[in-house]
Amino acid sequence: MFIDSLNLNQVRIFECVYRTQSMTAAARELHLTQSGVSQHIRAFEDMLGAKLFDRINQRVVPTASAAMLYENCKKSLTGLEDAFAELQAEKNQLAGRVHVGMPTEFGYNVVIPAVAKFTEKHPGVRFHFRLGYGAEMNALLLRGEIDFAFIDEFAMDKKVKTAPIYDEVLELVAAPDFVKKAGGGSQNREYFESLRYVDFSKDEQILRRWFSHHFGDDAWRLPVRSTIEDSQGVARLVIAGVGAGILPGHLVRKLEREGTKLHTYKGKGSPLKNTVSIAQLRERSHTRSVQTALEFLTKEIEGASKAKKN
């Protein structure tokens, strides 16, 4: 590649000569001799096979080639300078980027409030979020595109280690008017099979999981009227009275705080839970900012999970 023969020092000298429009000023700024600067520019021109400056009346006048090259060099050198500054800042205080993957609703309702607390303490740290489910997070972790991820129950690659962090309660809910129209009789099999439902997927997996957990049987006739692969979408359908549906408890609480009234079907026994885990690539090294954020979010979200149980 052409870049293999590139001398970064010559690029820096070219940038300075172009910016100052003077060999003398560039030499002064770079603590070099004027003849040294001139030699570097000639060597750079020879390597490129292009004339960068015309020497007119003891002045250097940039050519069109120099103008094009300068714009790109300036961006690259500025980018390098910013990156080096960020690395140095990391040594003295928490700074830099943290790349996090998470499911949409869990991320919005649980992760982001915890991140907000972290950034109050460490304003120099920037977060970049990727939204998706287990399969997507698994691929992103393996490619090194995220530092860690929050995942629901999914069999990750053996190179990825996971640790449970939060028990997400799954609730069957419906709009009050929907429940009223359905009649308030005994909430038995006949009653539940008479309802309309909305679900995340066409195979009704989560809906049937709720009935299997609470009633020990998944061979229910459940008329699903709409499917949508998004918790907010299910919530909107439920609120509109299209049918009853499964929502994570933290989303139900959020909607209730916002003034939305929902009826929650209790079922039998303990609540159905979806365990959320934190996942990261084994043996991957983290910057101090990433490691600190990982530890803080783990502690904060585990604490929120325990508080929810009490």
pLDDT in tens, 102-145: 998 899 999 999 999 999 999 989 999 999 988 999 999 999 99
- Taking the whole predicted model, whether its pTM rises above 0.75 is answered as no
Q: Is the pLDDT of residue 305 over 70?
A: yes
Residue-level pLDDT at 84: 76
Residue-level pLDDT at 4: 65
The tens digit of pLDDT for each residue in 54-102 reads 888 878 888 998 888 888 888 888 888 777 776 666 566 778 899 999 9
Q: Is the pLDDT of residue 232 over 60?
A: yes
Out of 40-44, 181-185, 233-237, least confident range: 181-185
Q: Which residues contact 59 (CB under 8 A, 6 or more apart)?
A: 21, 22
Length of the chain as a residue count: 310
The tens digit of pLDDT for each residue in 240-294 reads 999 999 999 999 999 999 999 999 998 888 999 989 999 999 988 998 899 999 9
pLDDT band at 184; cut points 50, 70, 90: low
What domains sit in the chain, N to C, each tagged with a CATH number?
Answer: 2-92 (1.10.10.10), 96-166+275-309 (3.40.190.10), 168-273 (3.40.190.10)
Token duo for residue 305: 């999970």
Residue-level pLDDT at 185: 61
pLDDT band at 216; cut points 50, 70, 90: confident
| HEC string for the chain | CHHHHCCHHHHHHHHHHHHHCCHHHHHHHHCCCHHHHHHHHHHHHHHHCCCCEEEECCEEEECHHHHHHHHHHHHHHHHHHHHHHHHHHHHHCCCEEEEEEECHHHHHHHHHHHHHHHHHHCCCEEEEEEECCHHHHHHHHHCCCCCEEEECCCCCCCCEEEEEEEEEEEEEEECHHHHHHHCCCCCCHHHHHCCCEEECCCCCHHHHHHHHHHHCCCCCCCCEEEECCCHHHHHHHHHCCCCEEEEEHHHHHHHHHCCCCCEEECCCCCCEEEEEEEEEECCCCCCHHHHHHHHHHHHHHHHHHHHHHC
Mean pLDDT, range 26-45, rounded to an integer: 90
Q: Mean pLDDT over all residues of the chain?
A: 88
Residue-level pLDDT at 57: 80
Q: What are phi and psi of 302, to 5 degrees?
A: -60, -40
Mean pLDDT, range 23-52, rounded to an integer: 90
